[in-house]
Amino acid sequence: MIQEYTICLIFVAIMFFVISSLTPQGYYTAVAFLVGAIVSMICGAVGMAIATSANYRTTYCAKISLPLAFKTAYRAGVGMGFALVSFGLLGKAFLT
Protein backbone atom coordinates (compact mmCIF):
# COMPACT_ATOMS: atom_id res chain seq x y z
CA MET A 1 0.00 0.00 0.00
CA ILE A 2 2.90 2.35 0.70
CA GLN A 3 4.31 1.76 -2.79
CA GLU A 4 0.93 2.46 -4.37
CA TYR A 5 0.51 5.76 -2.55
CA THR A 6 4.11 6.74 -3.26
CA ILE A 7 3.48 6.38 -6.98
CA CYS A 8 0.17 8.23 -6.64
CA LEU A 9 1.88 11.11 -4.80
CA ILE A 10 4.55 11.38 -7.51
CA PHE A 11 1.83 11.54 -10.17
CA VAL A 12 -0.16 14.08 -8.16
CA ALA A 13 2.92 16.28 -7.70
CA ILE A 14 3.69 16.23 -11.43
CA MET A 15 0.10 16.96 -12.36
CA PHE A 16 -0.07 19.75 -9.76
CA PHE A 17 2.72 21.61 -11.53
CA VAL A 18 1.29 20.89 -14.98
CA ILE A 19 -2.17 22.13 -13.99
CA SER A 20 -0.82 25.21 -12.23
CA SER A 21 1.20 26.23 -15.27
CA LEU A 22 -1.31 25.46 -18.05
CA THR A 23 -4.68 26.63 -16.74
CA PRO A 24 -5.88 30.25 -16.56
CA GLN A 25 -6.59 30.06 -12.82
CA GLY A 26 -3.61 27.80 -12.29
CA TYR A 27 -3.04 27.94 -8.57
CA TYR A 28 -6.71 27.56 -7.58
CA THR A 29 -7.31 24.70 -9.97
CA ALA A 30 -4.14 22.95 -8.89
CA VAL A 31 -5.02 23.26 -5.20
CA ALA A 32 -8.50 21.86 -5.90
CA PHE A 33 -6.88 18.95 -7.74
CA LEU A 34 -4.49 18.38 -4.84
CA VAL A 35 -7.27 18.39 -2.24
CA GLY A 36 -9.33 16.00 -4.36
CA ALA A 37 -6.41 13.63 -4.81
CA ILE A 38 -5.61 13.60 -1.10
CA VAL A 39 -9.26 13.02 -0.16
CA SER A 40 -9.43 10.22 -2.72
CA MET A 41 -6.34 8.54 -1.28
CA ILE A 42 -7.71 8.82 2.26
CA CYS A 43 -11.01 7.31 1.11
CA GLY A 44 -9.13 4.46 -0.52
CA ALA A 45 -7.17 3.71 2.64
CA VAL A 46 -10.22 3.90 4.90
CA GLY A 47 -12.28 1.82 2.48
CA MET A 48 -9.60 -0.85 2.29
CA ALA A 49 -9.36 -1.02 6.09
CA ILE A 50 -13.13 -1.33 6.44
CA ALA A 51 -13.36 -3.92 3.66
CA THR A 52 -10.57 -6.06 5.13
CA SER A 53 -12.16 -6.08 8.56
CA ALA A 54 -15.64 -6.63 7.13
CA ASN A 55 -14.55 -9.56 4.98
CA TYR A 56 -13.23 -11.38 8.03
CA ARG A 57 -16.39 -10.68 10.01
CA THR A 58 -18.66 -11.64 7.13
CA THR A 59 -16.86 -14.93 6.63
CA TYR A 60 -17.13 -15.71 10.31
CA CYS A 61 -20.85 -14.84 10.35
CA ALA A 62 -21.46 -16.94 7.22
CA LYS A 63 -20.46 -20.01 9.21
CA ILE A 64 -23.32 -19.24 11.59
CA SER A 65 -26.04 -18.10 9.15
CA LEU A 66 -26.31 -16.43 5.77
CA PRO A 67 -28.75 -13.67 6.86
CA LEU A 68 -26.30 -12.66 9.60
CA ALA A 69 -23.47 -12.59 7.05
CA PHE A 70 -25.56 -10.43 4.70
CA LYS A 71 -26.40 -8.05 7.54
CA THR A 72 -22.71 -7.74 8.45
CA ALA A 73 -21.62 -7.13 4.87
CA TYR A 74 -24.40 -4.61 4.30
CA ARG A 75 -23.49 -2.63 7.41
CA ALA A 76 -19.84 -2.54 6.35
CA GLY A 77 -20.83 -1.26 2.92
CA VAL A 78 -23.02 1.42 4.47
CA GLY A 79 -20.15 2.46 6.74
CA MET A 80 -17.79 2.68 3.80
CA GLY A 81 -20.33 4.72 1.82
CA PHE A 82 -20.84 7.16 4.67
CA ALA A 83 -17.08 7.53 5.06
CA LEU A 84 -16.69 8.28 1.36
CA VAL A 85 -19.45 10.90 1.34
CA SER A 86 -18.29 12.55 4.55
CA PHE A 87 -14.69 12.84 3.34
CA GLY A 88 -15.92 14.28 0.06
CA LEU A 89 -18.02 16.87 1.87
CA LEU A 90 -15.09 17.78 4.11
CA GLY A 91 -12.90 18.27 1.06
CA LYS A 92 -15.56 20.46 -0.55
CA ALA A 93 -15.96 22.47 2.64
CA PHE A 94 -12.20 22.97 2.76
CA LEU A 95 -12.21 24.41 -0.77
CA THR A 96 -15.04 26.89 -0.25
Q: Residue 55 sits in which domain range?
A: 2-95
DSSP 62: H
Contact 87, 44 (CB under 8 A): no
Model confidence at 96: pLDDT above 80: no
24 three-class SS: coil
Q: Please report which confidence band the pLDDT of residue 14 belongs to, taking 50, 70 and 90 as the band edges.
A: very high
Q: What is the pLDDT of residues 42-73, one digit of tens each?
A: 888 888 888 888 888 899 999 988 999 999 89
Which one, of 58, 59, 17, lies nearest residue 34 by Cα? 17
What is the rounded CA–CA span in Å between residue 78 and residue 62?
Answer: 19
Which one, of 52, 50, 43, lies nearest residue 76 by Cα? 50
